[in-house]
Amino acid sequence: MFVRILRALLGIWAVLVFSITLLFSGILYFIIFSTTPKDKAAHIAHRIVSRAWARILFISFGIRLRVKNKSLLENDKVYVFAANHRSMLDIPAYALACNHTFRFLAKAELMKIPVLGYIIRQLYISVDRKNKAARSKSMENMHRSLQQGISVFICPEGTRNKTENLLLNFHDGAFRLAISAQVPLAVLTILNSGKLLSPKRPIELKPGIIECVWSAPIDTKGMTEDDIPHLKEIVIKLMEKELLASANLRNK
């Protein structure tokens, strides 16, 4: 019980830190997007604000990040990034896991949150998964982002995994986008974030280490929509391999 109380207190601290830094970050984003040409604004905002914000949050929370196989990514390439998602800590981890500017595919509900909604409208791409027209529009926006030289980051599970399963069922979007745009699909597996901040107890935070493991990017050139199930299965196996290895290591 005492440990849970301490974790709850740290969680409350984290909420306060996030709220305060959200306001300051929102001001910086506003300045950048108001004064910088559109073709440069996203790169500057990601490099100067997003990554710095993520670092500040993790330092404040007592969380360290380890990134493995980062050298597998080429800095001058555009990717569709696909990652698992179990904790709210994953979002800053994504921002720090690679050097690439990317647009994150975010749930439309987040647009209603003050300040955060503005940031998402300016920097990311929102989608209402229940609306077919909205899904189609978000796919067009993601294609446009890739054409502009800005990668796209998608969680194929669609939401945080609150189950005991390693992964939720994957949606097709990330795989369809990578194949239709003929760009590499880069797979990132996040380890341990759910142990530090569980989706079932989102106010109980624990300091510790989050690991981000990159797999070798998958070339989609020559693939068609018929290859979506196969590509999806490859990604599932890559993530499950890392998740199982991490679980086995903890159990030893």
Instruction: Flag whether pLDDT at 236 surpasses 90.
Output: yes
CB 185 within 8 A of CB 228: no
Q: What is the bridge-based pairing of β-strands 185-191 and 208-214?
A: antiparallel
Cα of 61 vs its chain's centroid, Å = 18
Calculate the alpha carbon distances from 110 to 97, 104, 106, 218 in Å: 22, 12, 7, 30
- The residue assigned the tokens 């984290």 is 14
Instruction: Flag whether pLDDT at 20 surpasses 70.
Output: yes
Q: Name the strand (E) or helix (H) holding 186.
A: strand 185-191
Its pTM stands at 0.92
Per residue in 42-100, pLDDT (tens digit) is: 999 999 999 999 999 999 999 999 999 999 999 999 999 999 999 999 999 999 999 99
Per residue in 88-129, pLDDT (tens digit) is: 999 999 999 999 999 998 887 877 888 888 998 888 888 777
CATH 3.30.479.10 fits 2-251, yes or no: no
What local confidence, expressed as pLDDT, does residue 202 receive?
Answer: 85
What local confidence, expressed as pLDDT, does residue 127 receive?
Answer: 78
Q: What confidence category does residue 133 fall into, taking pLDDT thresholds of 50, 70 and 90?
A: confident
Per residue in 192-217, pLDDT (tens digit) is: 999 999 988 888 999 999 999 999 99
What is the biggest distance separating any 2 CA atoms in the chain, rounded to whole angstroms? 57
Instruction: Flag whether pLDDT at 134 surpasses 90.
Output: no
Domain positions in the chain are 2-251
Cα of 64 vs its chain's centroid, Å = 17
Per residue in 153-170, pLDDT (tens digit) is: 999 999 999 999 999 999
Range from 43-47, 217-221, 233-237 carrying the lowest mean pLDDT: 43-47
